[in-house]
Amino acid sequence: MAQLISSSSSLTIFSRNKPYLKPFNQCSMSFSTSAACNSSTYPFRKLFLQRQKPRKSLVLQVSAVSTSIETPVQTSSGEPSKPQRVMVIGGDGYCGWATALHLSKKGYEVAIVDNLIRRLFDHQLGLDSLTPISSIQNRIHCWKSLTGKSIELYIGDICDFEFLTETFKSFEPDAVVHFGEQRSAPYSMIDRPRAVFTQQNNVIGTLNVLFAIKEFREHCHLVKLGTMGEYGTPNIDIEEGYITITHNGRTDTLPYPKQASSFYHLSKVHDSHNIAFTCKAWGIRATDLNQGVVYGVRTDATAMHEELCNRFDYDGIFGTALNRFCVQAAVGHPLTVYGKGGQTRGYLDIRDTVQCVELAIANPANPGEFRVFNQFTEQFSVNQLAALVTKAGGKLGLNVETITVPNPRVEAEEHYYNAKHTKLVELGLKPHLLSDSLLDSLLNFAIQYKDRVDRKQIMPSVSWRKIGVKPKTVTA
């Protein structure tokens, strides 16, 4: 364990007037989300009305001197590079938290930017992570205590360009990893306000990041988390971002056609178009990581202490297929296969998510280049995942059953699917494939926390076809 020699802390509040500094005692400091959580008692639309009002954004900057020896980050050529300053937007979320710790452990200087709204969603919808998760401040304090490494924290909304401006000027990132979006397709299909919020938050937030890079850090590399869902399920092979087409005797390489299947996926398509345009117009360097479905919960860094534990969603809104199936098996609930179960997607372990992001940072795009990497390691249908969990559960003495439920989504339930994913492997990705031992680990993890499972949240409650104009009230 690294020894912490010294530390200093300051709280910066950016308002519409001018920033000012206010010292505080870190040991007694606590930023409670209870005030924000209480807003769940009001109509959901208030969340959008707040965007029209001046907002205050909190910036927590924690610095420390470490005696640990940092391992230089390696590029594809094997040459060590100096520690880069990486801003992780959405660093309090499922993928963002794991990535922030991984990069810090690897020797990068890391800052987390987050408005903590993902925690608010849980309170509004009556949901909770299977794992108990600490506040972001306690997480960062624990990380510094264990490793001696400092992670700066900027609490605010990237849709507020004044906040983002001050954050860029303060931290001066060499790379921005952008997870900071509403990431759930079902959430975007609950009702009109949440559909509007998803597109406004995701598209405007990304636009602000692009403008901030142009104005304040023109050499900064944007690593944007996209989604394989942008492609849909075409009856041809899915290429990595671009496809070469010959039409009427002429040939061109064009962006691969997009067939988004929710308002969330559409927001990602808009992001990709905006990023591609700014790379061409402004010379921005960007890598779009079209990520498949992520499973798992532990990385080497998050497993170091219970305070660093990542969130694990199992509900019908934020939970992903394999994670949901493991929790359902652990509590004796039948596995819920939507429709025919032939829906096939790309999947990857969260340990590979953080590895892919690091590879993209260490091997940046050129100025003006818009790269697209398909970020997944294996393909499975829903039926195949259910069969794997059933087999693994049986070895643990679990009686796992499967039921078919009406598909709440509008999607092909039987289709061709073959997506290319070679570029990250060429950069050095060493995948963690879905093995029996990994499934055993996931199931045992779910069994460990099964007393925290709310069975009412297991079945799907959001219908693509029944989305309405009025805000939907969610009751426990």
Tokens found for residue 152: 């700066």
Give the lowest-confidence range in 34-43, 264-273, 415-424, 459-468.
34-43
Report pLDDT for 59.
52
Is 101 a residue whose pLDDT tops 90?
yes
Mark residue 241 as left, alpha or beta (left: phi above 0; alpha: psi -120 to 50; beta: remaining): left
Tokens found for residue 26: 């870190």
Is 30 a residue whose pLDDT tops 90?
no
Q: Whose CA is closest to 427, among 340, 355, 344?
A: 355
- Return the amino acid letter for 117: I
Q: Whose CA is closest to 324, among 316, 407, 122?
A: 316
Report pLDDT for 474.
61
Is 87 a residue whose pLDDT tops 90?
yes
CA 97, chain centre distance (Å): 8
Report pLDDT for 70.
46
* pLDDT tens, position by position, 272-306: 999 999 999 999 999 999 999 999 999 999 999 99
Report pLDDT for 219.
97
Tokens found for residue 173: 């990132």
Give the lowest-confidence range in 38-47, 83-92, 244-253.
38-47
Across the range 170-194, mean pLDDT stands at 98
Is 83 a residue whose pLDDT tops 90?
no
Strands (E), 282-339: 285-291, 293-295, 335-338
Angle CA 220–221–223, to nearest 5: 140
Report pLDDT for 14.
42
Report pLDDT for 475.
54
* pLDDT tens, position by position, 352-393: 999 999 999 999 999 999 999 999 999 999 999 999 999 999
Q: Whose CA is closest to 151, among 107, 106, 105, 104?
A: 104
Across the range 52-66, mean pLDDT stands at 43
Is 18 a residue whose pLDDT tops 80?
no
Report pLDDT for 79.
52
Q: Whose CA is closest to 434, among 313, 350, 330?
A: 350
Q: Whose CA is closest to 157, among 92, 226, 77?
A: 92
Is 152 a residue whose pLDDT tops 90?
yes
Measure the CA–CA gap between 56 and 85, rounded to whole angstroms: 25
Is 313 a residue whose pLDDT tops 70?
yes
Most confident of the following: 17-31, 33-47, 406-420: 406-420
Measure the CA–CA gap between 106 and 140, rounded to whole angstroms: 16
Say if CB 405 and CB 459 are below 8 A apart: yes
Sequential DSSP letters for 413-433: SS----B---HHHHHT-----
CA 249, chain centre distance (Å): 42
Report pLDDT for 75.
53
Is 22 a residue whose pLDDT tops 80?
no
Tokens found for residue 98: 């794991």
Say if CB 234 and CB 257 are below 8 A apart: yes
Percent above pLDDT 70 for the chain = 82
Beta strands 344-349 and 293-295 are parallel
* Residue partners of 228: CB distance under 8 A and separation at least 6: 238, 290, 291, 292, 345, 346, 374, 375, 376, 419
Catalytic residues: 227, 264, 268
What are the residue boundaries of the structural domains of the chain, listed by start? 85-457
Q: Mean of the per-residue pLDDT values for the chain? A: 87
Tokens found for residue 222: 């944007």
Distance spanning both ends of the chain, measured CA to CA: 43
Q: What is the pTM of this model?
A: 0.87
Other CB atoms within 10 Å distance of the CB of residue 463? 16
Report pLDDT for 457.
97
CATH annotation of 85-457: 3.40.50.720
Report pLDDT for 20.
27
